[in-house]
């Protein structure tokens, strides 16, 4: 009995981990494209360390937003409820993640 329970549980965990792992290459490509376009447009100093930290911050922000969307879709019974929850969560996250800081307020 325990063997079957643990086998089913591990199967569910692996399915969820695969769903997350499938998203990572796409998010890496999306982040590389976004960083190459926006880093020069913003006007930051171009050094390897600063580009890496910018990439790191953008990648994990995009990953967090994507995983939050996946979480809300899996927790809610209906897609409309998940959309309503994400519509309330994402503006608050955008407000506090630093994307809305004007260039005058940035320490470049």
Per-residue pLDDT of the chain (108 residues; tens, 9 = 90+): 666 666 666 777 788 888 888 999 999 999 999 999 999 898 888 999 999 999 999 999 999 989 988 888 889 999 899 899 989 988 888 777 766 666 776 676
DSSP state of 46: -
Say if residues 64 and 51 touch (Cβ distance below 8 Å). no
The count of domains in the chain is: 1
Q: What pLDDT score was predicted for residue 52?
A: 96
DSSP state of 76: S
**CA–CA separation, 77 and 31 (whole Å):** 31
Burial of residue 104 (CB within 10 Å: 0-12, 13-18, 19+) is exposed
Find, among 23, 58, 66, the residue nearest to 38 by Cα.
58
Domain holding 15, by residue range, is 2-105
pTM equals: 0.76
Q: What pLDDT score was predicted for residue 36?
A: 95
């Amino acid at each position: 009995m325990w063997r079957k329970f643990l086998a089913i549980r591990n199967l569910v965990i692996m399915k969820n981990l695969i769903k997350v792992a499938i998203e990572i290459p796409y998010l890496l490509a999306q982040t590389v494209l976004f960083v190459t376009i926006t880093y020069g447009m913003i006007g930051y100093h171009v050094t390897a360390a600063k580009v890496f930290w910018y990439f790191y911050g953008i990648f994990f922000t995009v990953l967090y937003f994507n995983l939050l969307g996946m979480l809300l879709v899996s927790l809610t019974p209906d897609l409309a409820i998940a959309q309503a929850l994400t519509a309330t969560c994402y503006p608050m996250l955008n407000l506090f993640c630093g994307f809305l800081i004007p260039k005058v307020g940035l320490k470049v």
